[in-house]
A and B are shown apart, each in its own frame.
Chain A
Amino acid sequence: MTERIDRASRSLILSWPALTIVSLVAIPFLLLLQVSVGHHDPSGLWSPGFDLSNFALLADPILLRTLAYSAGLAILVAIVCTAIAFPLTYLITRMPRRRQIAWLILLLSTLSLSEVLVAFAWQVMLAKRIGLSEIFVVLGLLSEPQSLSPGFGAVVSCLIYLVMPITVLLLYPGLSRLDRDLIEAAQTMGASNRMIFLTVVLPMLRGPIISSAILVAVFTIGTYVTPSVLGQPQQWTIAVLISRTALSDGNLPGSAAMALLLLAVTLALTGGTILLGRKKESGT
């Protein structure tokens, strides 16, 4: 009897999640697959069919170069960001609780800023009149004040700013649960701080490091706003091309095919990072 009620209430409870998830996740993704092989209609729509010519668009050298650039940018940002975020997170987890909370709120506040607002803020900050370039002149890095955007440096700095909080928050649980007894044991045995960091802390955090690097790379490879605001056309990413194909050219099947290509590259990047992590593990 209770078994029966359980089953009935289970279906009742699951009906709303099932309805919404199937119609808002499963169906839209299947539709993407269907549209990628649909016929392109010049009116801006598409008609069902089995047209592989959309994938011929993908052989375009500009598209491939942009894709390679986006992937390279993603890898660069993931590496630089992890290298900065790791020591930062480590230091935060060693702080007293109140200061920890202050840092977490600061990070969450920057995380919650729209990419549009952050890119805009960087544009203001890098403008000639605002003063960052004047600080650089005082430091001897520049000979005279100049606007630092648009440019590759502006794009990379802004992207690192955007992903820094994500990385810190993903590394935070692992680092704050790090077994202190183990570190103390290493210290008593005379290991230097550097040794402890390299042989105790780093290996234990391999999982979170890999997953945060993947998340950062996925975010960066699909970024649209930062390169359009802070970059010149040669710094545009694949996301800019995809949205142009969809909206300016009105070619939905073409943009669907490009989105699938980006998905494939993202999966390859993710898989590659995981494999790299495994390989290192077996190496030590």
Chain B
Amino acid sequence: MKARLVTAGQYVFLTIMALFLVAPMVVVTAVSLNSTRRMSFPPEHVSLIWYGTFLGDAGWRASFGSSLLIAVSAALLAMSIALPLSYAIWRFVSPIAQGLAALAMLPFMLPAVVLSVVYLIFWGWVGHPGRIEDVMLSHAAAFLAVPLVTVGLGFSLIDKSLVEAARTLGADETAVFRSIILPILTPYIVSGLAFVFVLSLNEYIISYMVAGFSVETLPIRVFNSLRLGFEPTMCVGATLFMLVTTGVFLLIAAIGDLPRLLGADRSRG
């Protein structure tokens, strides 16, 4: 009897938490499907009219485009730094590589507003302020810790004796990398890229401080519209964004072992 009560309590708790997590997404999606301009929930008449308006608006399309461009570049850039660095840490005992990695972890551990001041000042000092490239590079630096952790996790799973055996059998460094290291590492590279992509896609304060006056990413545009009042197209932008990011994580779950990637022990999971 007591055990049943505990289980019921757990069930209620989990339901409340699921509702709490899902509610904002449901409300925004529902409002985006409303046919009237007024903000109302549940929608009075379901229609896709605001999706048409959103897609027909050059401003929203441009914002969506620059957000995607920044996120893809930041992810690739961060990975281009994290992959060789993690390889060096794994392959050689190098204090320089260790020091660089420690430095690279720093930005992720600081409040975002501090980073935004740092990069606002930095790009002004370089003499190249307010450009889209600045946002890409700043995001790559801000989120560098993420691929370092995921790729580092991947390298830690490689059996070094296997690599030794391949070398003894005459495989050169490139062959070892291609035939042994890369297959194990691939899911960790993909997830590192995906995490940076999603973080950059949604980042507001750094983009705003570094280039908010010339580059309007989707979060910046939504924030600016919020000040001017409610617009149904904002809900459309938000819904499309949620679909993109949820899609990315479904993809990771499909190709990789999500619990393991997030640190669960496979033998128990």
A and B physically associate: yes
> Which residues of A approach B to under 8 Å, CB–CB?
6, 9-10, 13-14, 16-18, 20-22, 24-29, 31-32, 35, 45-46, 84, 87-88, 91, 93, 97, 100-101, 104-110, 112-125, 127, 129-131, 161, 164-165, 169, 172-174, 176-177, 180, 193, 218-219, 221-225, 229, 238-239, 242-243, 246-247, 252, 255-256, 259, 262-263, 266
Flag whether B158 is at the interface (Cβ < 8 A): no
Q: A120, B28: Cβ atoms under 8 Å?
A: yes
Task: Known A25-B103, A27-B122, A91-B10; judge A222-B241 contact (CB<8 A).
Answer: no
Q: Which of B43-98 contact A (CB under 8 A)?
A: 77, 80-82, 84-85, 87-88, 91-92, 94, 96-97
Query: A101 contacts which chain B residues (CB < 8 A)?
Result: 253, 258-259
User: In the complex, A173 Cα to B234 Cα: how many Å?
Assistant: 36
User: In the complex, A28 Cα to B80 Cα: how many Å?
Assistant: 20
User: In the complex, A13 Cα to B77 Cα: how many Å?
Assistant: 15
Given A88-B17, A129-B40, output 6 extra A-B contacts at Cβ < 8 Å. Answer: A17-B104, A22-B103, A109-B249, A117-B242, A124-B39, A262-B113
Query: B18 contacts which chain A residues (CB < 8 A)?
Result: 106
Chain A residue nearest to B38 (CB atoms) is: A129
Q: A17, B85: Cβ atoms under 8 Å?
A: yes
A-B contact pairs, 14 of them (CB 8 A): A9-B173, A14-B88, A28-B141, A101-B259, A129-B41, A172-B264, A173-B264, A176-B264, A218-B109, A218-B111, A222-B112, A239-B111, A246-B117, A262-B114
Q: B41, A105: Cβ atoms under 8 Å?
A: no
Name the one of A20, A88, A177, A224 contacting B13, with C-beta atoms under 8 angstroms: A88
Query: B155 contacts which chain A residues (CB < 8 A)?
Result: none
Q: Which of B1-53 contact A (CB under 8 A)?
A: 6, 10, 13-14, 17-18, 20-25, 27-28, 31, 38-41
